[in-house]
Structure 1
Amino acid sequence: MSENINWNKMWMEAMKNASWRKRRGDMTEFWDERAKHYNESIKQNDRPARVISKLDIDSEYSVLDIGAGPGTLTIPLAKIVKHVTVVEPSSGMLACLGENAANEGLENITCINKKWEDVYPGEDLGEYDVVIASYSLSMLDMAAALSKMDTVARRSVHLFTFTGDRMWDYTDLWPELYGEKYRAGPDYIYLYNILYQIGIQADVEISSTEHKQRFSNLEEAVEQWKKNLDISTPEAEDVIRSYLSEKLIREDESLWSKNTMKSVSICWRK
């Protein structure tokens, strides 16, 4: 690591050059459209239990969940802590979260429908025993984003992200569909070094994780990939169908997409 490298500037450049950002810009609308499907697909994974097992949690704690989606962590956390505050820009995701909370009879969740960049300590935010950002680190000015997390945290901050090829299907399909290499954006090493440069020495743990999605049939999967990849031409659809017909695994009368990825946990305690 070199002190002469501006890691925050490098993060910004890598984020701006990420393939998904160059094509879609603001991802809020994308997640609004995909909220219901994502809400169902995440129930097929054991991510919540794995993430929560890494947290220092007490029944009297308050938790801040940044980029909470449909409540992947919020719902199980709200069952064991005093209160959970959510910051989530997608109204579609918050609608799913509200429905999930109602189904569980939970009333200790407060939702803020804003981007992390647009909330302010002392106005929108108080202080929280534990602050979490799980697979939601898409802010451009990461140094400012991380500093704000540190400011509102009483005890600890926990970040969860990927390293390496975390979207295998995009890596394989993107060149065929768009004629260019898929760029996933910056990974955890940028985060670690940005933290170091703003005076925070964090612990890092890397592990393997499986991401899986279930589909009733091939056409359902093709339609989902078309939405994910923002394509509509018959030629592109044929490319996706051919790829998925070989990639998907038939199991229990369903089709499954299963990928093993490297997951990273970054934590610091106050």
Structure 2
Amino acid sequence: MKESPLKIDFEKLWKEGMLDWHGNMPERMVDDELEEDFWAQSMKKKTYKQTDDYAERIYEKMKPYIPEDASCLEIGPGWGNYTFPLSEDVKSLTLVDGSESVLAYLRQYYESDAPVQFVNSKWEEVQVEPHDIVVGVNCFYRMYELKTALKKMNALAQKRAIIGLTTGPIQPHYVVLDKQYGYEIKYPRRDYIAILNILYQLGIYANCEMVKLERTYRYNTLEQLYETQSKKILSPQFEMAHVKSSLEPFIAMEDGQYVYRHPFYAAIITWEPSNSHD
């Protein structure tokens, strides 16, 4: 007999999913200096207001939940996928990020008198006033106490809380490598469904909409493609011929490059806040 979903500890599953495949916590999850170095290097690579291709589609789905003249708090803005459009659609914007490099990168795009506030703090530790809306997209990967983080979103959102999380499926050739050739694959272990279930257990009945997207990888050589697209194989030994065979149906030539496209999704989770939850 299967256990009732209400009895499953989804936060425990989330925490277990943070561990690497040897059962250890990755250094970036707990070492703030290492995390800051990662973002410092990432910001150096960015061109002017560079954002991800799929972000516009996700924001289109978020926008109807943003009221006019709203004050907005964004958790973990990164390189501004949603910061830039949000700052045009809200009255004031507060950006909370644990990385000073992220905030320094974003700060350069706003005049000193712009209604944008930059707060260098982890979400778990930040002390800020409530805002009309609280937004967080793909910002939960280092949050260990997820239930507390979600409660905080609910407490600080006066009109609407909005979460976005990109999700599977995994690149299809890995499924072939698993099912046809028997390789152990590094499937994702944390996903939006844990957040939705934790909210449900908190008595928060959130809406969830799935947005179908497409990811595109481009390579100059087949060797680059094969090397990159075999990194999720956990089996200590594998044959490259199997990798090549599994990839073949999904590869096309475009403008002299090898192109690999596959579908993925974004989950848009929204709810009207209530401060009556335990």
1:262 alignment partner, one of 262, 265, 270? 265
Aligned to 1:78: 87
Aligned Cα RMSD in Å?
A: 4.1
Helix, strand or coil at the partner of 1:3: helix
1:47 maps to a residue whose letter is A
Give the helix-richer structure, 1 or 2: 1
Residues 106 and 15 (structure 1 numbering): CA distance in 2 closer, same or farther, change over 3 Å? farther
SS of corresponding position for 1:43: coil
- Structure 1 residue 114, shift from structure 2 partner: 2.2
Indicate how the Cα distance of structure 1 residues 18 and 69 shifts in structure 2: closer, same or farther if over 3 A, else same: farther
Partner of 1:159: 163
CA-CA distance at 1:40 after TM superposition: 7.1
Q: CA deviation at 1:18?
A: 6.5
1:116 aligns with 2:120: no
- 1:66-88: CA deviation from partner (whole Å, max 9, x where unpaired): 11101111111111211111112
TM-score normalised by structure 1 residue count:
0.73
Counting only pairs closer than 5 Å after superposition, residues 164-243 of structure 1 correspond to structure 2 as: 164-166=168-170, 181-212=185-216, 217=220
Q: Which moved more, 1:249-258 or 1:56-65?
A: 249-258
1:170 shift after superposition: 8.7
SS in 2 for 1:184: coil
Q: CA deviation at 1:184?
A: 2.1
Check the 8 A contact 1:66/1:136 in 2, yes or no. Answer: yes
- Cα distance, 1:93 vs structure 2: 2.6
Checking the alignment, whether the CA contact within 8 Å between 2:18 and 2:25 is kept in structure 1 is no
Deviation at 1:127, TM superposition (A): 1.1
Please tell me whether residue 65 in structure 1 is matched to residue 94 in structure 2: no
**1:201–1:43 CA distance, 2 compared to 1 (3 A):** same
1:33 is displaced (CA, Å) by 2.1
Q: Is the 8 A contact 1:20 1:184 kept in 2?
A: no
Q: Deviations over 1:171-203 (max 9, x none)?
A: 899xxxxx9631423112211111111121111
Within 2, Cα distance between the matches of 1:171 and 1:24? 28
Cα distance in 2 between the residues matched to 1:191 and 1:201: 12
| Equivalent position of 1:145 in the other structure | 149
One-letter amino acid matched to 2:62: K
Task: Report the Cα offset of residue 50 of structure 1.
Answer: 3.0
Q: Which runs of 5+ in 2 are unaligned?
A: 178-182, 232-239, 274-278
Shift of 1:158: 0.9
Partner in structure 1 of residue 43 of structure 2: 35
Distance (Å, rounded) in 1 between the aligned partners of 2:22 and 2:173: 13
The corresponding residue for 2:114 is 107
2:74/2:95 contact within 8 Å kept: yes
Per-residue CA deviation, residues 192-228 of structure 1 (Å, 9 max, x unaligned), is 111111121111112211234667x559x78xx69xx
- Paired residues in the alignment total 250
Residues 103-151 of structure 1, C-alpha deviations (whole Å, 9 max, x = no match):
x9982221122221221xxx3x111111111112211111001000001
Structure 1 unmatched ranges of 5 or more: 174-178, 230-237
CA 1:106–1:76: 2 relative to 1, 3 Å: farther
Cα offset, 1:159, TM superposition: 0.8
- Deviation of 1:10 after TM superposition, in Å, equals 1.8
User: Which amino acid is 1:128 matched to?
Assistant: H
Give distance in 2, aligned partners of 1:137 and 1:113: 16
Residue 262 of structure 2 aligns to a residue whose secondary structure is strand
Per the normalisation by structure 2, the TM-score is: 0.71
Q: Give the greater-gyration-radius structure (CA).
A: 2
